[in-house]
Amino acid sequence: MLKATNISFGYTSKEVIKNISFKADKGDYIAIIGESGSGKSTLLEIIYGLLHIEKGNVYWNDEKLLGPNFKLIPGEDFMKYLPQDFDLMPYTTVEENIGKYISSQDKNKNKRVRELLKVVDMTEFSQTKVKNLSGGQKQRVALAKVMAKEPEVLLLDEPFSHIDNFRKNKLRRDLFKYLKSKNILCIVATHDTTDALSFADKILVIKNGKLIAKNTPEKLYTNPKSAYIASFFDEINKIPLSEMDSNLVSKNTILLYPNEIKLTEKEGLKATVVSSYFKGSHYLIEALLNKTTLFFEHHKKLETNQQVFLKLAKKTIK
């Protein structure tokens, strides 16, 4: 088990990581989400042992990890870390880049290279020199490279940021399925919440260096504690109760996703359509409810300035 206890860190006197604690077991996939500059990458570097911390500790199987001040070469042997800039050998082939990290004494070396090439969908480029690859292809090779030694812990920083959307979904499925089969703990810092919602066992939400929420994807999505958390999963409507009932003077609000607001024929809250955005399976409708802009889903486009009636899901008041 990996355990972080009360970690704080600052590059200067100002802390960018503030009293973070969490646990993760072998085979888990932990997603770390948060806005740019919130501390996601810094947290990964602390766990891996690139940054020394004075406050808090990181443990692996109850053994305290000492950090870079106590190691000749920073980083832990049982971990692999893939930052946003990949370290590849440009003048050697894809196959050679991956094979370099598998012992020549391993009788299954060639088989394992082929397996990893298949996981990242790069089999047809096995003999291509890395310098001739696109950014997305290089990122896929880098992913295969860090998996080559089958680490116990894999730390990934925005691992799909350069990869085309049409290829990304299959890659995610294949990658996380492979890591589960090998019982590798994977911790991913990501802006793409598809990575988190569909595959993660637990999500950590960071804001300004603080861990403000940690739970399963289902629980965080269905019961977000703030608009900040909800906004990572979808458009979020923050609707004052006073907009729903003019007799109320309360400053409380409810948080609703677009799919929690339904158009009705003759009863409900009256709103005015502003725009319709085609999303493939549906339209995202922007409307004005008194003074509040909100978004809801509908099966067809609605006319601008059209008056509509809306029914809102019952939600906990924030």
Residues 211-236 pLDDT 10s: 999 999 999 999 999 999 999 999 99
- For the chain, how big is the Rg over CA atoms in Å? 23
Domain annotation covers residue 283: yes
**Between the CA of residue 50 and those of 36, 59, 101, 169, what are the distances in Å?**
20, 15, 20, 31
pLDDT tens per residue across span 95-146: 999 999 898 888 999 999 999 999 999 999 999 999 999 999 999 999 999 9
How much is the pLDDT for 266?
Answer: 81
Lowest mean pLDDT, pick from 139-153, 161-175, 224-238, 304-318: 304-318
- What confidence tier does 244 reach under pLDDT thresholds 50, 70, 90? confident
Which CATH number covers residue 39?
Answer: 3.40.50.300
Look at residues 85, 42, 27, 40 and name the one whose alpha carbon lies nearest to residue 190.
40
Domain annotation covers residue 84: no
Domain boundary among 224, 245, 278: 224
Domain boundary among 224, 250, 278: 224
Instruction: Tell me, rounded to whole angstroms, the distance of Cα 115 from its chain centroid.
Output: 25
Domain that holds residue 260: 237-312
Are 193 and 259 within one domain?
A: no
pLDDT tens per residue across span 181-192: 999 999 999 988
Pairing of strands 237-240, 292-298: unpaired
Query: Residue 129 in contact with residue 82, Cβ under 8 Å?
Result: no
How much is the pLDDT for 256?
Answer: 94
Are 165 and 301 within one domain?
A: no
Are 278 and 250 within one domain?
A: yes
Query: Residue 29 in contact with residue 199, Cβ under 8 Å?
Result: yes
pLDDT tens per residue across span 251-305: 788 899 999 999 998 888 999 999 999 999 999 999 999 889 999 999 999 999 9
Instruction: Tell me, rounded to whole angstroms, the distance of Cα 246 from its chain centroid.
Output: 39
Are 253 and 270 within one domain?
A: yes
Q: In whole numbers, what is the pLDDT of the chain averaged over residues?
A: 92
Query: Residue 187 in contact with residue 24, Cβ under 8 Å?
Result: yes
Are 68 and 213 within one domain?
A: yes
Instruction: Tell me, rounded to whole angstroms, the distance of Cα 18 from its chain centroid.
Output: 20
- What confidence tier does 242 reach under pLDDT thresholds 50, 70, 90? confident
Q: How many domains does the chain have?
A: 3
Domain boundary among 198, 224, 250: 224
Are 111 and 161 within one domain?
A: no
C-alpha dihedral sign at 259, 265, 270, 275? positive
How much is the pLDDT for 317?
Answer: 55
Q: What percent of the chain has pLDDT over 90?
A: 77
Are 63 and 203 within one domain?
A: yes
How much is the pLDDT for 72?
Answer: 84
- State the Cα–Cα distance between residues 258 and 239, nearest whole angstrom: 12
Look at residues 183, 210, 213 and name the one whose alpha carbon lies nearest to residue 196.
213
